[in-house]
């Protein structure tokens, strides 16, 4: 058996929904089965690190999870699923059909990238950091951009218009299932008791943030880039919800459906492994 490390590196993004959820765990306000140490990076970097198996616990896009399911399993708490939370496609003007168009993407391992490939298989996607997408489109370097996180609140400031809401596209084609965006993974080799303990710790960290909403603000602000307070709070309100407490049966169905469609499109391999930590 692999010996347990003294500290578990926990990777998550700079985004307000993640720093809100993980503040109490990072600050030691809630108990955890092992001490954790934050590793903050953008989502595409975390996705790539998961491919390399660099972190024992990490936030990840569901698209990337489908590539590392042999090594990792998702916690039931801490993830990002929901309705009205979908990535947007924006441009300087209406383009109509996106097939054949040059589209800036926040990363080829993001759920957003997968959704656009499902909707427009012949779109020509170029990966880059998510915060570089809108400026690149505004400069005319790409026909359109695929935006995530706080960009959905700020794209008009770049002179861009919305072409497509991929969350609405997903809901219309799945009978209203919530859209799975991101999950918190733990390595499958960790003992089940540690996995369950981490799930409980993440859920308690979220509950602590809800119970003490002012306490995490300085930590969230520290990592929120140049985001206004209103956008920061709107980001939390949109992406943190009941599915963040527990994915639930409906959330599990949504993840299975996304995986099924990814497999059908040749973007993922079939798997019979459990998707989520038990208990």
Residues involved in catalysis? 149
Give how far the C-alpha of residue 11 lies from the chain's centroid of Cα atoms, to the nearest Å. Answer: 12
Is the distance from CB of 111 to CB of 217 less than 8 angstroms?
Answer: no
Which ranges constitute the DSSP H helices of the chain? 16-26, 43-52, 62-65, 111-119, 133-138, 151-154, 166-173, 192-211, 217-222, 229-239, 242-245, 248-264
- 71-105 burial, b if ≥16 CB within 10 A, otherwise e? ebbbbbbbbbbbeebbbbbbbbeeeeebeebebbb
Please, what is the angle between helix 248-264 and helix 111-119, to 10°?
60
């Amino acid at each position: 058996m692999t010996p347990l490390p003294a500290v578990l590196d926990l990777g998550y993004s700079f985004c307000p929904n993640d720093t809100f959820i993980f503040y109490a765990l990072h600050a030691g306000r809630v108990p955890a089965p092992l001490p954790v140490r934050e590793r903050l990076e953008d989502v595409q970097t975390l996705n790539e690190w998961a491919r390399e198996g660099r972190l024992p616990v990490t936030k990840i896009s569901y698209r990337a999870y489908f590539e590392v399911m042999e090594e990792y399993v998702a916690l039931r708490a801490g993830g990002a699923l929901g309705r009205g939370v979908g990535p947007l496609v924006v441009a300087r003007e209406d383009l109509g059909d996106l097939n054949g168009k040059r589209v800036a993407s926040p990363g080829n391992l993001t759920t957003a990238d997968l959704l656009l490939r499902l909707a427009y298989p012949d779109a020509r996607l170029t990966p880059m950091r998510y915060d570089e997408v809108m400026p690149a489109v505004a400069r005319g370097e790409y026909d359109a951009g695929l935006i995530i996180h706080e960009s959905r609140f700020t794209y008009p400031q770049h002179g861009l218009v919305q072409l497509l809401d991929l969350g609405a596209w997903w809901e219309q084609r799945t009978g209203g299932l919530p859209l799975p965006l991101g999950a918190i993974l733990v390595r499958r080799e960790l003992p089940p008791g540690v996995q369950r303990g981490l799930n409980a710790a993440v859920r308690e960290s979220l509950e602590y943030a809800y119970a003490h909403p002012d306490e995490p603000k300085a930590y969230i602000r520290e990592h929120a880039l140049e985001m206004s307070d209103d956008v920061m709070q709107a980001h939390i309100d949109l992406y943190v919800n009941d599915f963040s407490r527990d994915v639930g049966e409906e959330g599990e169905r949504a993840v299975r459906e996304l995986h099924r469609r990814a497999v059908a499109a040749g973007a993922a391999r079939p798997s019979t492994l459990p998707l989520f930590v038990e208990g």
